[in-house]
Amino acid sequence: MPRRRTVTELQDIIARLRKSHGIRGIHRALGVHRTIIRTLRDIAQEEGWQNPTCPLPIEEHIQRRMRHSLTDKLQRSHPLDSYLML
């Protein structure tokens, strides 16, 4: 089972994204999978967290948005779902 990321690690990713670090560079530096970084980048763009003048988001807000993002992915349908044998 994959290791859960702490909120401090997620805040560090957001801080690096604010400084225009690339996804691969963040991956190499922190060892966080690139899909997690991309997901967090997309959330940060939606929420406006990449604005350097705003403070970093609080832990609860990050956790809520990441949880919401994961449940959205699980609820999406696949184009081949109609052929699934039940």
Q: Are 54 and 48 in contact (CB under 8 A)?
A: yes
Residue 85 lies in a domain: no
Please state whether the predicted TM-score (pTM) of the whole model is above 0.75: no
Q: What is the C-alpha separation between 19 and 52, in angstroms, rounded? A: 8
Asked if residue 61 has pLDDT above 70, the reply is yes
What is the domain extent for residue 5? Answer: 1-58
Q: Which tokens sit at 86?
A: 């039940």
Angle between helices 34-47 and 23-30 (to 10 degrees): 120
> What confidence tens digit (pLDDT) does each residue in 9-32 have?
888 999 999 999 999 999 999 999
Q: Is residue 34 part of a domain?
A: yes
The total of structural domains in the chain comes to: 1
Q: What is the mean pLDDT of residues 72-81?
A: 71
Q: At 52, list the tokens.
A: 């350097």
Using CB atoms within 10 A of its CB, is residue 40 exposed (0-12), middle (13-18) or buried (19+)?
buried
User: In this predicted model, which residue has the larger pLDDT, 3 or 84?
Assistant: 84
Please give the average per-residue pLDDT across 23-52, as a whole number. Answer: 91
Does residue 37 sit within a domain? yes
CA 23 centroid distance within chain:
11
